[in-house]
Amino acid sequence: MTAGPLESRHWVPAEHSHAPLPPSTDVLVIGGGIAGTAMAYYLARSGVEVTLVERGELNREASGTNAGSFHLQLAIHQLSGQGAEADRERLLDEARLSLEAYSVWKGLGDELDGSLDLHETGGWMVAETPEQLQTLRDKYELERLAGIETEVVTGAELRRRAPYLAETVVGATYCPIEGHANPLVVAPLYALRAVEHGALIRTGTEVRRIDVNGDTGARRFTVHTGAGRIDAHRVVDCAGAWCGEPAAMVGLRLPVRSEGLHVNVTEPRPRLLTPMVQHIGRRLTLKQTDQNTFIIGGGWPTPDAPRPRRYPTSWHSAAGSTAVAVSVLPALADVRVVRTWSGVIVFTDDFSPVVGESALVPGFHACVSSTGFTFSPYFARRLAEQMTSPVASPFPERYSLDRAATGTLRREKR
C-alpha cells in the first residue's frame, strides 16, 4: 500500500472544474465524493463519455469529513439488534464484501499513482460487558466463514497485547488488516485521474430537475442544473446522504436516511496506539496519527441543519465521544481536544447498500453505501463493469434501487 506526504498533483485544476457544462454526455454522475469520483474514473478509464456534477466542491461532505477508517470487521452500525444469527445471510455477504473492498484498497495507491496516506495498522473491536463479548464471538464465527482473519482475545493475553486498554474491557476482536487512509486526498485523486482519462468534472453545479425522456434513444434524461441543462443517456446517483433527492426527481424512493456526525482531534502525545480501536456496543472509532494526534470518531450525532447550512457541532456529542474514548483508553484523560468538525453519514432502512440500475427507470443507477469510505471504491468499480460489460455479474436483489417501491424492502429495527 502506498503511503507518503500529500502531493499538489492530487487536485483537479479550477479552470477545468469551473468550465461551462457540456450540452450532453453518455453518463452523468451526480455527486463529487468518493463514490462519484470513483465512478467517473472507472467509467472514463473504460472509454465511456462521462460528466460529473457536484453542487459544491469535491470531497466537501461525507467523503472528506469522516475519520478515514477501514471497517473490515463487522461493526455496530451493521447490526440490527436482533443478533448475528438473525442477520446471518446479510452479515456473511457484507463480511465477504469487506475482503473484496480490502483488495481494491490494497492496490489503489499504485492504481491511481499517488499517495493515499494509507496505513494497515490492524484493529481492535472492544467489549465491556458479557453480552457485548458474546456478540464479538458470534460475529467472529461469521467473519471466519467469510475468510476474514480475526481472533477474540480476553484475559491476560489481552492485557499483554493491548496494555493501554481499560480494565473494563473484558475482551476484544483483533483484525490484522484494518487501518485507515487520508479522506482528504482519495476522492480528489480519483477525480484527477478521471479527468486525465477524459471525464469532465463540474463543481458549483446543483441538479434541480431531471426529466425522463423515455427508455430508448441516445438521451434518456434531460438534467436541469444551476449551471444549465445537460442531456444524458444514463445517470448515476452518487449523492450519498442526499441521494434521495435526484432519485425523487425521476419518481424513485430510495430507502435511505442521513445523520450528521462528529469527529474530534486531540493534541499530540507520545506514541501509544498503533491499531485502530472500535467498540461493539458504543459509538467509537479511535486511532493515533503519524503526527501523534488522536482522531476520535464513531458517529456521534449533530443537530439537524437544512441546506445550505452545514451540520453544526454539538458540545453534547463532542463530550460524549471523548468520554467513551477515555473510558476505553484511560491515558487520554488529560489530553486536550483541539479541533472538532461535523460530517454526515447515510443509512439504509434494511442495512443493505443501494447499488445498480433501476428496473422502473431504466438508465438511472445509484451507488450508495452506509460504510461508504470503505466500500465505495469496490462498488463503483463493479457498477462501472456492469455498465460497460454485458457479462458482468449482477448485484444481489436486496441492493435494488426499486426495493422500497416494489415491496421487497425487508425492514430491520436498529
Taking only the tens place, the pLDDT of each residue in 341-373 is 988 889 888 888 999 999 999 999 999 998 889
Q: Does 70 reside within a domain?
A: no
Phi, psi of 235 (to 5 degrees): -130, 140
Check: CB of residue 281 under 8 Å from CB of residue 76. Answer: yes
Residue 338 and residue 218 share a domain: no
Residue 130 and residue 173 share a domain: yes
Q: Are strands 294-297 and 285-288 parallel, antiparallel or unpaired?
A: antiparallel
Residue 335 and residue 261 share a domain: yes
Residue 135 and residue 200 share a domain: no
Give percent of the chain with pLDDT exceeding 90: 64
Residue 124 and residue 13 share a domain: no
- Work out how many domains the chain is built from and give that number: 2
Residue 337 and residue 242 share a domain: no
Residue 294 and residue 397 share a domain: no
Shortest CA distance to 53 belongs to which of 291, 239, 188, 247?
A: 239
Q: Which residues contact 307 (CB under 8 A, 6 or more apart)?
A: none
- Measured torsion, CA atoms of residues 122, 127, 131, 137, in degrees rounded to the nearest 10: 20
Q: Note the pTM of the prediction, 2 decimals.
A: 0.90
Residue 264 and residue 138 share a domain: yes
How far apart are alpha carbons 318 and 313 in whole angstroms? 8
Which segments in the chain show pLDDT lower than 50? 1-8, 410-414
Residue 391 and residue 323 share a domain: no
Residue 214 and residue 162 share a domain: no
Residue 189 and residue 147 share a domain: no
Taking only the tens place, the pLDDT of each residue in 228-255 is 999 999 999 999 999 999 999 999 999 9
Domain boundary among 314, 332, 347: 347
Residue 332 and residue 243 share a domain: no
Which range marks the domain in which residue 354 is found? Answer: 8-63+184-255+350-406
- Measured torsion, CA atoms of residues 406, 260, 73, 371, in degrees rounded to the nearest 10: 50
